[in-house]
Amino acid sequence: MRHGRRLFAFTFLLPPLALYAVFVISPYLQAFQISLTDWRGLSPEYEYVGPENFRLLLHDQYVWNALKNNAIILVALPVVTILLALFFASMLSVGGRAGKAGVTGVRGAALYRIVYFFPQVLSVAIIGVLWKQVYAPNSGILNGFLRAVGLDALAKPWLGDPALAFWCVLAVMVWSNVGFYVVLFNAAMQSIPREIYEAALLDGAGRAATLARITVPLVWDTIQVAWVYLAILAIDGFALVQIITEGGPGNSSDVIGLRLYTNAMGDFKFGYASAIGVAMFFLTLSVAVVALRATRRERIELS
């Protein structure tokens, strides 16, 4: 009977596992193979060059510049996004004044959730094009607003300045992600008993102390997941950079994902681009492991 049950389960699991192997695992394995060749992607002819692509990778200044930008994103994106999301989610969940109904969220919290979540219904392409127009020097909303309020001196060619372009893209990354984590953290906060917040309020705890000593420890598992996802996103960051700045000006906003794309589709160095992809695979895996270990702490159980 047990053998028949296992055969039945295996029969249903085999097709999806086969599809996963063909369409997910197989491309990964092919990327490892191609990274050891000089394939240019335009013909079936290629030669094995061994680790030569990886040796070139170590001495590629464009790659190191892109990795530097990714490292900045890796630090800034999770920290800023999570801090903003925690603040907004806390206000929506317990930011209202205590009344007869106990601790509540701010008035209109449901509307705020929709507003915060709105960027999630837009594709990355739409977000990139939208913000590229916002940053436009002459017709952009940002410079238009600054001129309208008399701050003409602050109007700048945001995406044309090497000192500003990268930070402009980083700001868009935060804007496009913070709403999702506001909703995620808010959902996690709903499971915290309101009696805990009311007791803290009676003890004279302010909102900052309540957030730091009650909310954060009780939703830490959710924060840990958010940190890992944002860290993985920071390693890539290709789509927004490619649409908004194309890595410029002067490679000031370049990222490693764009390096891969440029080498493959621009220079037709598919072997070298695959080597970058393999390096990204191990880098992303390492970052995920480090993020999980760095954010690991004893879980708090509510009784």
For 225-277, the pLDDT digits (tens) are: 899 899 888 988 889 999 999 998 999 999 999 999 999 998 899 999 999 99
CB neighbour class for 192 (10 Å; exposed up to 12, middle 13-18, buried from 19): middle
CB neighbour class for 46 (10 Å; exposed up to 12, middle 13-18, buried from 19): middle
Question: Looking at per-residue confidence, does 258 or 291 come out higher?
Answer: 258
With a cut of 60, say whether residue 299 has pLDDT above it.
no
81 vs 65: CA distance, rounded Å: 24
Domain 62-294 classification at class level: mainly alpha
Domain boundaries, the chain: 62-294
Peptide bond into 249 cis (omega under 30): yes
For 39-62, the pLDDT digits (tens) are: 988 888 889 998 999 999 999 999
The b/e string for 250-281 (b: 16+ C-beta within 10 A; e otherwise) is ebbbbbbbbbbbbbbeeeebbbbbbbbbbbbe
Confidence of residue 98 (pLDDT cuts 50, 70, 90): low
With a cut of 80, say whether residue 68 has pLDDT above it.
yes
